[in-house]
């Protein structure tokens, strides 16, 4: 019997944090169908993100149309390509009711002060981000950069989180493609730990990842400015990271050429995931700070359950080795024929 064809589970330590994940890949059992739940047909009429339904959302702060960046007045702007407005059910608000900073003298509570906005990133209800044109993805990256720069001026924003949830299982409440931005009055603990690790080394840990992973079996793709990898420390099956080869902290520091090549590599990542995993739900997260950091983008298919072991230990079990994921994703880019560099 060859049923003993299982690779040894491995505890893999994070590149530079004291965190672990378990890679427990079973050779004969490698699921590659992670299809997300699809929206029911005919739900456009009730979709607040669809053109014509702008009145169902709060007025826009920024409407990106061919004729420039506009904002809603008494009349809502139509004919847009992307539309940015405050989330109707925000996690953070700009003027919260005053709360006591310290509730009991023992435990801390801070006002949830900040901004939470929705970026409707396609005017087409059924458009899959993996099918965006290069031009449209370039536009989305410009919008991410614009909104990041806008909030980086605010004293309320210590941290700006930009992310995209695709599919209900990934947390999206609407099937119409959109991204979100939430500002926080604190630096999240995860980022704080990363910054502490930066201080302990004489080099940038992310520059080190770029250098080492570029020559590894986990490299999925690259162009002149960016690399796409299935990271050594992968928390979920087919997780990918995109890192700039040049050391810089935020989208605000990106050149126009870097912005265009990022769009191309991001499209390769999304197309690869859609084709290899049959359009899975996923979370896409942009990690950035105004300075002293190395921008990175992480894409995690939302396909594994967080259950008792994960909650009890903080350690995730990933059933797909990143080396296998990288091979599958590169193969798909080659057959796709649109890989920036093959
Ligand atoms: Zn819609
Ligand atoms: Zn760096």
Q: What is the DSSP string of 52-77?
A: T-GGGSPPPSEEEETTEEE---SSPP
pLDDT at residue 342, rounded to an integer: 40
pLDDT at residue 2, rounded to an integer: 42
Pick the last residue of a domain from 160, 184, 208: 184
**Angstrom distance (rounded) from CA 340 to CA 342:** 7
Ligand 1 centre and the CA of 274: distance in Å? 20
For the stretch 8-13, contacts whose Cβ atoms lie closer than 8 Å and that sit 24 or more positions apart, written own/partner, are 11/315, 12/232, 12/233, 13/233
pLDDT at residue 37, rounded to an integer: 74
Average pLDDT, integer, range 101-106? 62
- pTM (2 decimals)? 0.93
Give 40's pLDDT tier (boundaries 50, 70, 90): low
Ligand 2 centre and the CA of 185: distance in Å? 25
Ligand sitting nearest the alpha carbon of 174: 1
Ligand 1 centre and the CA of 125: distance in Å? 4
> Is residue 206 within 8 Å of residue 198, measured between CB atoms?
no
**Angstrom distance (rounded) from CA 237 to CA 25:** 10
Ligand sitting nearest the alpha carbon of 51: 1
**Angstrom distance (rounded) from CA 61 to CA 143:** 12
- Residues 145 and 213 both lie in one domain: no
- Residues 273 and 323 both lie in one domain: yes
The residue whose two tokens read 């992307």 is 82
Ligand 2 centre and the CA of 301: distance in Å? 25
Ligand sitting nearest the alpha carbon of 194: 2
pLDDT digits (tens, 9 = 90+) for 272-286: 999 999 999 999 999
**Angstrom distance (rounded) from CA 228 to CA 269:** 7
Ligand 1 centre and the CA of 121: distance in Å? 11
Ligand sitting nearest the alpha carbon of 178: 1
Ligand sitting nearest the alpha carbon of 203: 2
Q: How many domains does the chain have?
A: 2
pLDDT at residue 3, rounded to an integer: 43
- Residues 176 and 247 both lie in one domain: no
pLDDT at residue 1, rounded to an integer: 37
How many CA atoms within 13 Å lie on the side-chain side of 253? 15
Mean pLDDT of the chain: 91
Pairing of strands 316-318, 20-23: parallel
In 65-86, which positions are buried (b, 16+ CB within 10 angstroms) versus exposed (e)?
eeeeeeebeeebbeebbbbbbb
Establish if 312 belongs to a structural domain: yes
Q: Which two tokens stand for residue 16?
A: 């530079």
Helix then strand then coil, % of the chain, to nearest 5: 30, 20, 50
pLDDT at residue 336, rounded to an integer: 81
Q: Is 113 buried (19+), middle (13-18) or exposed (0-12) by CB count in 10 A?
A: middle
Establish if 14 belongs to a structural domain: no
Ligand sitting nearest the alpha carbon of 172: 1
Indicate whether 101 pLDDT > 60: no
**Angstrom distance (rounded) from CA 50 to CA 123:** 6
pLDDT at residue 147, rounded to an integer: 97
Ligand sitting nearest the alpha carbon of 83: 1
Pick the last residue of a domain from 184, 202, 225: 184
Ligand 2 centre and the CA of 11: distance in Å? 26
Indicate whether 27 pLDDT > 70: no
Q: Which two tokens stand for residue 250?
A: 């935020």
Ligand sitting nearest the alpha carbon of 207: 2
Indicate whether 102 pLDDT > 70: no
- Residues 174 and 254 both lie in one domain: no
**CATH number of the domain bearing residue 83:** 3.30.428.10
Ligand 2 centre and the CA of 196: distance in Å? 14
pLDDT at residue 259, rounded to an integer: 98
pLDDT at residue 29, rounded to an integer: 60
- Residues 229 and 270 both lie in one domain: yes
pLDDT digits (tens, 9 = 90+) for 43-97: 888 999 999 999 999 999 999 998 999 999 889 999 999 999 999 889 989 887 6
Q: What are phi and psi of 55, to 5 degrees?
A: -65, -15
Ligand 2 centre and the CA of 194: distance in Å? 12
- Residues 140 and 217 both lie in one domain: no
Ligand 1 centre and the CA of 200: distance in Å? 47
What is the sign, positive or negative, of the torsion defined by CA atoms of 300, 304, 306, 310? negative
Query: Containing domain of residue 274, as a range?
Result: 187-336
Establish if 15 belongs to a structural domain: no
Quick one: CA torsion of 176, 181, 184, 190, rounded to 10 degrees?
80
């Amino acid at each position: 019997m060859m049923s003993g064809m299982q690779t040894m589970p491995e505890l893999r330590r994070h590149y530079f944090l004291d965190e672990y994940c378990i890679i427990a890949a079973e050779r004969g059992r490698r699921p590659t169908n992670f299809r997300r739940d699809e929206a029911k047909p005919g739900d456009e009429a009730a979709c607040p993100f669809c053109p014509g339904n702008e009145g169902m959302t709060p007025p826009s702060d920024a409407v990106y149309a061919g004729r420039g960046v506009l904002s809603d007045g008494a009349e809502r702007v139509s004919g847009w390509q992307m539309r940015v407005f405050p989330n109707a059910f925000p996690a953070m608000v700009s003027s919260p009711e005053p709360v006591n900073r310290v509730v009991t003298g023992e435990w801390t509570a801070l006002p949830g002060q900040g901004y939470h906005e929705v970026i409707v990133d396609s005017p087409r209800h059924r458009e899959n981000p993996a099918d965006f044109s290069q031009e449209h993805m370039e536009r989305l990256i410009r919008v991410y950069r614009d909104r990041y720069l806008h909030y980086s001026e605010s004293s309320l924003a210590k941290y700006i989180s930009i992310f995209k949830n695709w599919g209900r299982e990934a947390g999206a409440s609407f099937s119409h493609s959109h991204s979100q931005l939430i500002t926080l009055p604190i630096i999240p603990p995860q980022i704080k730990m990363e910054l502490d690790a930066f201080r302990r080394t004489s080099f940038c840990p992310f520059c080190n990842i770029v250098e080492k992973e570029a020559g590894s079996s986990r490299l999925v793709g690259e162009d002149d400015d960016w690399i796409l990898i299935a990271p050594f420390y992968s928390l979920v099956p087919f997780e990918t990271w995109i890192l700039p080869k040049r050391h810089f902290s935020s989208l605000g520091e990106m050149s126009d050429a870097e912005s265009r090549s990022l769009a191309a590599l991001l499209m390769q990542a999304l197309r690869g995931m859609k084709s290899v995993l049959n359009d899975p739900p996923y979370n896409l997260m942009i990690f950035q700070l105004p300075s002293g950091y190395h921008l990175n983008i992480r894409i995690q298919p939302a396909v594994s359950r967080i259950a008792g072991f994960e909650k009890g230990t903080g350690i995730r079990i990933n059933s797909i080795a990143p080396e296998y994921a990288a091979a599958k994703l590169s193969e798909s880019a080659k057959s796709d024929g649109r890989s920036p560099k093959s």
